[in-house]
Each structure stands twice: as C-alpha cells, then as structure tokens.
C-alpha cells in the first residue's frame, strides 16, 4: 500500500513547507492537501507552485477563495483581511487561476477530503466539538473524513452510537468511521509551533511534527509589513 501524506493550512509559509517537503521526499508516495495554501505567510506563490507540482489532490480553503472572491473578506478578522489583500497583490494570474480551479471536496474511495466540514463546506464551519463532528459524520458516508481549518491536530471516532475524540497514532478499524485533522504546516495553533502533518500507511495514521526556521519566516513577514500579531503567533503556536 502507498504511503500518503496529508497536509493542510500551509498559509504561505515556505520555510515550514520546505522542511516538510524535505521529509516527504524520502518517505512518501503521494501527497493530499486540505487547502489554505495561502494567506498569513510571506511566500504564497512559492507555496502554490510546490502544491501544484507535488500534490495529487488539493481542496479549496477559505483563504484560497478569499483572494479571488473578496465578498468572502467580511468573514475574516482585520489581520487576516490585511494578509489576504497583501497576498492577492503578490499572486500572478496563473496562481489565481489555480486557486479558482480548486474543488471544495474530493472523494477518493473511502476517503473524503474537505477544508472545513462536509456540512455545507462553503460556509467554512469548524469541527471542534463532538456535536460538530457528529453532524459532519451524518452529512456524508465516507469512512475517513480528512479536514483542516482549525490548525489544531485532532481526531474523532464514530461507532454504532458512540462518538469520541481519540489520540494519535490512529488505528483505522473496520468497525468505526473517522474524522482526522492533521493540524497546520504553516501556522499551528496547538501551542506547539512545529509544522504539523500526518501520514497514512496501511491502517495507521500518524501525526508528524517537525521544527523549521520560524525566525526566517518572521523576518520575511517584517520586511513585507505584515501584521505584528501574525508574526509573533508563529513562535507561540497560537
């Protein structure tokens, strides 16, 4: 069986993606991306180019959409809005064309890939609680639903009646269905600033964390006058 990497929420952070890429080169057959390639970080075009060339599947994130559909901007806080408008000014027509081409969902055998939730994906709802997870399970039939969006690695297991949050590594069992969030490559928010992603191999999904040169990303963000909060949060993992 193939070894598949599931990555999400790169957010224009090339320094983080570069380190993840070096790790994946040696270890992986296929890469699936759950969206938010751009927004927040200082090198959106480079990240798009890498995703284009390396990912088998890519779904659209809310930031990927907001750069070409500015009607979405009202849903973002002022820092994110500023970063999205800055990102838009840095992208080529080709980059925008690629972001516009991304689907909201991809189905691959027993897997569903979606950025936020299978419940009205275009509304970008978050899956944090058991209740939100349950609603997501009821909205589709796939055995494993891969989501991003929260920037916090997490997993839910859904059985006959019971639903619970489970820890990594996950042993995928025939009796259950799963929601798996691999966390964020470029802006983790679980107080661990290392890049986060996951690897699916046979029946196991493991979470991988790798350090990257956070200061290098921060320096590039200062140079581009991106909002200070977006710069400092990278080192804190918030």
At its nearest, how many Å lie between Zn ion and the CB of residue 224? 19
Q: Which is nearer to Zn ion, 15 or 36 (CB)?
A: 36
At its nearest, how many Å lie between Zn ion and the CB of residue 92? 22
Q: Nearest residue to Zn ion, using CB?
A: 36
Q: Which is nearer to Zn ion, 120 or 203 (CB)?
A: 120
At its nearest, how many Å lie between Zn ion and the CB of residue 11? 6
Binding site for Zn ion (CB under 5 A): 9, 36
At its nearest, how many Å lie between Zn ion and the CB of residue 173? 29
**Contact residues for 133 (Cβ-Cβ < 8 A; gap 6+):** 127, 156, 158, 163, 165, 179
**Cα separation, 170 vs 86, whole angstroms:** 38
Q: Which is nearer to Zn ion, 36 or 142 (CB)?
A: 36
Tokens of 101: 């081409």
Q: Which is nearer to Zn ion, 154 or 157 (CB)?
A: 154
The Cβ of residue 68 has, within 10 Å, a number of other Cβ atoms equal to 14
Report the relative pairing of strands 170-171 and 177-181 from DSSP bridges: unpaired
Q: Which is nearer to Zn ion, 9 or 142 (CB)?
A: 9
194, 192, 161: which is closest to 176 by C-alpha? 161
At its nearest, how many Å lie between Zn ion and the CB of residue 39? 7
Q: What angle do CA 48, 49, 54 make, to 5 degrees?
A: 100
- Whether omega for the bond prior to residue 169 falls within 30 degrees of 0, making it cis, is yes
């Amino acid at each position: 069986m193939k070894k598949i990497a599931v990555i999400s929420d790169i957010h224009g952070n090339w320094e983080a993606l570069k380190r993840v890429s070096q790790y994946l080169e040696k270890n992986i057959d296929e890469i699936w991306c759950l969206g938010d390639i751009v927004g927040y970080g200082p090198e959106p075009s480079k990240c798009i180019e890498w995703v284009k060339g390396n990912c088998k599947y890519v779904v659209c994130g809310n930031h990927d959409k907001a750069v070409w559909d500015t009607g979405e901007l009202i849903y973002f806080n002022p820092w994110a809005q500023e970063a999205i408008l800055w990102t838009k000014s840095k992208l080529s027509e080709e980059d925008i064309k690629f972001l516009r081409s991304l689907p909201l969902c991809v189905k691959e055998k027993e897997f569903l890939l979606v950025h936020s939730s299978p419940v009205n994906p275009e509304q970008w709802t978050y899956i944090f609680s058991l209740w939100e997870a349950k609603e997501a399970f009821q909205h589709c039939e796939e055995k494993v639903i891969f989501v991003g969006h929260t920037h916090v690695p997490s997993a839910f297991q859904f059985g006959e009646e019971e639903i619970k949050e489970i820890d990594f590594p996950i042993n995928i069992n025939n009796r259950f269905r799963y929601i798996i969030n691999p966390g964020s490559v470029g802006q983790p928010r679980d107080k661990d600033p290392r890049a986060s992603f996951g690897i699916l191999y046979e029946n196991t999904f493991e979470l991988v964390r790798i350090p990257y040169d956070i200061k290098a990303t921060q320096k590039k963000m200062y140079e581009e006058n991106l909002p200070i909060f977006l710069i400092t949060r990278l080192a804190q993992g918030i």
